[in-house]
Structure 1
Amino acid sequence: MSEARLREAICTQAASIFARGLTGGASGNISARCEDGGLLVSPTGASFGALDPARLARFDAKGRHVSGDKPTKEMPLHAAFYETRGTAGAVVHLHSTHSVALSMLPETDPENMLPPLTAYSIMRLGKVKLLPYYRPGDPAMGDAVRGLAGKRAAVVLANHGPVVAARDLEAAVYAMEELEETAKLALLLRGANPRMLTEAQIRDVVTTFDVEWD
């Protein structure tokens, strides 16, 4: 995809996320890799509902900010995913309500915070790691992602929000939406003793769709 088209796609996807209430105000950030290995990144303090393609922060392949507005302060998160997951072509970070709520519950499993409710959450996300709380913009967030050694495509920062990496922009947005919807399901079903996918069903999905799971 040309850089011009990628700029437009980032803003279109961000506007859709904003319009559906998945992130509000000036929260959330998004990035995508260009054909030359550089990155386009949403600016700091910018609303997903009003991103300007011409003002996206541009990084070259060596990680230098070369044009556009000042990037999001969450660049350590984005950089860590690109460094540890060679297949990553886009990263999305939101402050979506249900994912954040689930991160605060004491019974949430930090190794896999989403219960196995649907096949699609497993297919698009694999296991979702719950990371501790960090101050927004703290470089330690990136260190925590690097500590996973590329084994997780999605994490949730406790009391903060989810971060998802995927092969391209569209896949990252779809995976983020799946994470938020599954968190919503988990909260709706809390205390209801729902029928989860069995271990055999989970393994079938993991094997059939080549999901990172172990």
Structure 2
Amino acid sequence: SKVAFDGTHLSGDAPSKETFFHLAMYEERKDDRSIVHLHSTHSVAVSCLEGVDEDDVLPPITAYYVMRIGKLPLVPYFRPGDKALAVAVRKYAREHHAMLLANHGPIVSAKALDAAVYSAEELEETAKLYLLLDGHAYRPLNTEQIADLHQAFPT
């Protein structure tokens, strides 16, 4: 479907009940022209876990996750269609191009569609790794390694 930025349906199928939070993301991230929102298995599973760091849900397991996602906040749960979700997404979108909606799934924005897709794929693969590593000792990237990535590959 095609909708105007005020939410008015312009053409095509009826808009999704989630259109409003996509619009909120676009409004906050003016340079981003693409949004990918999924209900992908591993990301949704992580979004349902108790005890995660709500400011940064997934640890920095791989360099590509750090470069494509960075910090991943957890947006509180809202039922599908609840307009309050747009308010919450707007708040997080001011600082983050990617977020995880609690008990729902990821939303990622970027300047181009391919970049948003690659970021969403990286997020899903990192969620999968996180779940696979549960109960095992593993080495996330440390502060110095993350700083080196940001210096070598500024965003």
Band the TM-score falls in, shorter-chain normalisation: over 0.9
Amino acid at match of 1:74: E
- Counterpart CA distance in 2 for 1:158 and 1:149 is 15
Structure label with greater radius of gyration: 1
Confirm or deny that 1:102 pairs with 2:46. Answer: yes
Q: Deviations over 1:11-63 (max 9, x none)?
A: xxxxxxxxxxxxxxxxxxxxxxxxxxxxxxxxxxxxxxxxxxxxxx1234665
Q: Report what 1:151 is aligned to.
A: 95
Counterpart CA distance in 2 for 1:207 and 1:140 is 37
Cα distance, 1:192–1:81 mapped onto 2, change above 3 Å: same
Provide Cα deviations, 1:145-190, integer angstroms capped at 9, x if missing partner.
1122521111111111111111111111111111000000001001
Q: Secondary structure at the match of 2:108?
A: strand
- Deviation by residue 1:55-107 (Cα, 9 ceiling, x = unmatched): xx123466532211111110121011100011211111111111111122223
Gaps of 5+ in 1: 1-56
- Quote the Cα distance in structure 2 between the aligned partners of 1:62 and 1:73: 14
List runs of 5+ in structure 2 lacking aligned partners: none
Which residue is 1:161 aligned to? 105
Alpha carbons of structure 1 residues 61 and 112: separation in structure 2 relative to 1, 3 Å:
closer
Q: What is the one-letter code of the residue matched to 1:134?
A: F
Which of residues 18, 26, 29 is equivalent to 1:82? 26
**For this pair of structures, how many residues does the alignment match?**
155
Give the corresponding residue for 1:125: 69
Residue 92 in 1 paired to residue 33 in 2? Answer: no
Q: Which residue identity lines up with residue 167 of structure 1 in the other structure?
A: K
Provide the C-alpha distance between the structure 2 equivalents of 1:127 and 1:117, rounded to a whole number of angstroms. Answer: 12
Alpha-carbon RMSD across the aligned residues, in angstroms, is 1.4
Task: Using CA pairs under 8 Å that are at least 6 residues apart, name the structure with larger relative contact order, 1 or 2.
Answer: 2
Structure 2 equivalent of residue 50 of structure 1: none
Give the AA of the match of 1:104. C
Q: Could you tell me which of 204, 207, 214 is aligned with 2:148?
A: 204
User: C-alpha distance in 2, partners of 1:149/1:92?
Assistant: 14
Q: Does structure 2 conserve the Cα–Cα contact (< 8 Å) formed by 1:126 and 1:153?
A: no
Q: Which amino acid aligns with 1:59?
A: V
Whole-angstrom distance in 2 between the partners of 1:131 and 1:77: 12
